[in-house]
Chains A and B, each alone.
Chain A
Amino acid sequence: MMRLNPRYVQRGAVFVLGGATVLTLLILIFIIFFILEKGLPVLTLNFLTGNPEDLGRKGGIFPAIIGSIILPLLAILIATPLGIFTSVYLSEYTRESKLTRLIRFGTDCLAGIPSIIFGLFGYIFFVITLEMGWSILSGALTLAVMILPTIIRTSEEAIRAVPKTYREVSFSLGATGWQTVKKVILPNALPGIVTGIMLSIGRSIGETAAVIFTAGSSLRLPTSIFDSTRTMAVHFYILAREGISQENAYGTAATLIIAVLLVNLTAYWLMNRFIAKRRS
């Protein structure tokens, strides 16, 4: 076989790798611009703060914004401690064995299950069996179950990436297992853990299937966690699917995108501040 000149191969590699990056970015930018172009004209203060009228043909999306804040927030608050504790237990308090491998395999499988299955489970278990009805609580618990595997696995990876020597030093200085976790392992694994939480926030804000089945799609402003609610994603889905209002659907989508962007920026800003504070 003819041997290619490494210089040309190198150029080719740069072209392919760079091309893939540019293409990915372009697709992303195109989607965001497309949504914002169609959605921004609808975005007014009244749209953000008003109540929907006529099934969402007119009026605003204020209850859906509240739903989109409460539901993921509650889900994250439930799933994050559970997930982090589980991953700490798996990586620090157990020896690698058949059981831990089985648990890891199980969480990987759970992470890959389509969200509508979680929706169905949540409907049967939380809504019907536990008689929570269509409510913020049912929805948040279902979302929590859905994002738990992601949080466990990303946290576990982050914890495993903390150098073994840090643990040795900590133990050699007379730390207990928990002191080592608290003072050395979690602070150093935090960036990875936050990444997992961010992914989970993104997934739960954008989730429709699991939410419709469990939190319902009420357009009223919820007054307690036992009320049904509608998230922006669900609102967008219903507006577009039922052909109620394309404009307002895009307006909702634009709000959603901007919200996700804001959440991400804030989280990264907080994390960088934390890291800078530790490194200084």
Chain B
Amino acid sequence: MTTKFQIHNFSFFFKDQQILKNLEFQIPSNEIFGIIGPAGSGKTTFLRALNRMNDLETEISHKGNILMDQNDIYTDDFDVVSHRKKVGMVFAMPVPLPMSIYENVVYGPRLSGIKDRRALDGLVENSLKAAFLWDEVKDRLKTSGMRLSGGQQQRLCLARVLAMQPEVILLDEPCSGLDPISTAKIEDALTELKKQYTIVLVTNNTKQAARVADKTAFFLMGELVELGLTKQIFTSPVKKQTNDYITGRFG
């Protein structure tokens, strides 16, 4: 088992408010790494620190490092744009861009300069198949991505990330707006995808983490409270707060 991300004493600040506190742990390759915790615990901020999406906000600062494949992703001359191509992200709300299903999927590849029609067609088919969406949309790739249902839109967003052929997929509560059937489809896709990708899944739904994550981390108030094999976290948590949270006593 290799390590994808090493988080070293990482803290994150918005203005003078500390969102993440001295995080110190590793995220292994080719697993689903679940992050659970109540609202405001810093899960999303942490996720967005991994692909440097926090950069889009103002008045932010950080301490410590995050290493991906041994390379610090917070050095001054770090190539953020290439990094984001390697670390794809699926957001909480499905956001298809206002263009066709096809164009949505090839958005990333086109940015990387892929123009060959056959290569793009192949990427579209493979990505949509991997996101379990191909059969539902293969006859209407030219219609707008916005005409799909919520669950289909979220799988389209997943396919769009897969088409970039990333190394890591970050998911920020990807099923929060979806019905149970759509959720099951996404979860099936993730379980399949971890063979090729490193997946970090932030979820408000503890049962989802229990179902699909290999390891689970519990965040509270910007701190990592507990991290372990999912089975162990959910059956015999070490910390009292973890036990309280997963049994629904707060959060």
Contacts and interface: CB of A to CB of B under 8 A. Distances in A.
B119 interface: no
A280 B143 contact: yes
A280 B100 contact: yes
A175 B81 contact: yes
Q: Which of A163, A166, A169, A171 has the most CB of B within 10 A?
A: A169
A171 B84 contact: yes
B111 A280 contact: no
B58 A169 contact: no
Given A169-B97, A278-B99, A174 B144 contact: no
Nearest to A179: B111
A173 B99 contact: no
B85 to A, nearest CB: 4
B143 A183 contact: no
A24 to B, nearest CB: 32
Contacts of A95: 58
Given A167-B56, A173-B84, A188 B111 contact: no
A173 B98 contact: no
A264 B80 CA distance: 44
Contacts, number: 62
B142 to A, nearest CB: 7
Nearest to B96: A169
Number of contact residues on B: which range applies?
20 to 34
B108 interface: yes
A179 B100 CA distance: 18
A174 B95 contact: no
Contact of A172 (B53, B98, B142, B143): B53
B49 interface: no
B131 interface: no
B249 to A, nearest CB: 34
B142 A174 contact: no
Q: Which of B95, B108, B142, B160 has the most CB of A within 10 A?
A: B95
B91 A280 contact: no
A271 interface: no
A173 B97 CA distance: 12
A183 B107 contact: yes
Interface residues of A, number: 21
A174 B112 contact: yes
Contacts of B142: 280
A181 to B, nearest CB: 13
Contacts of B84: 171-174
B161 A173 contact: yes
B181 to A, nearest CB: 25
A168 interface: yes
A44 interface: no
Interface in A37-61: none
B81 A174 contact: yes
A279 B99 CA distance: 6
B88 interface: yes
Interface string B70-112: 0000000000011011001101010101111000000110011
A178 to B, nearest CB: 11
A165 B93 CA distance: 9
B58 A279 contact: no
Contact of B160 (A173, A179, A278): A173
Given A173-B84, A173-B160, A175-B81, A184 B97 contact: yes
A171 B53 contact: yes
A279 B98 contact: yes
B98 A174 contact: no
Contact of B98 (A175, A179, A188): A188
Contacts of A184: 97
A165 B94 CA distance: 10
B171 to A, nearest CB: 12
Nearest to A180: B111
B97 A166 contact: yes
Given A165-B95, A174-B82, 7 more contacts: A173-B108, A174-B81, A174-B84, A174-B111, A176-B81, A179-B111, A278-B98
30 contacts: A165-B95, A166-B97, A168-B53, A168-B56, A169-B91, A169-B95, A170-B97, A170-B107, A171-B84, A172-B91, A173-B85, A173-B88, A173-B107, A173-B160, A173-B161, A173-B164, A174-B81, A174-B84, A174-B85, A174-B111, A174-B112, A174-B164, A175-B107, A179-B111, A183-B107, A184-B97, A188-B98, A278-B99, A279-B144, A280-B142
Interface of B: 51, 53, 56, 58, 81-82, 84-85, 88-89, 91, 93, 95, 97-100, 107-108, 111-112, 142-144, 157, 160-161, 164
- Which 6 A-B residue pairings sit nearest by Cβ, starting from the closest? A174-B85, A173-B108, A172-B89, A174-B84, A165-B95, A169-B95
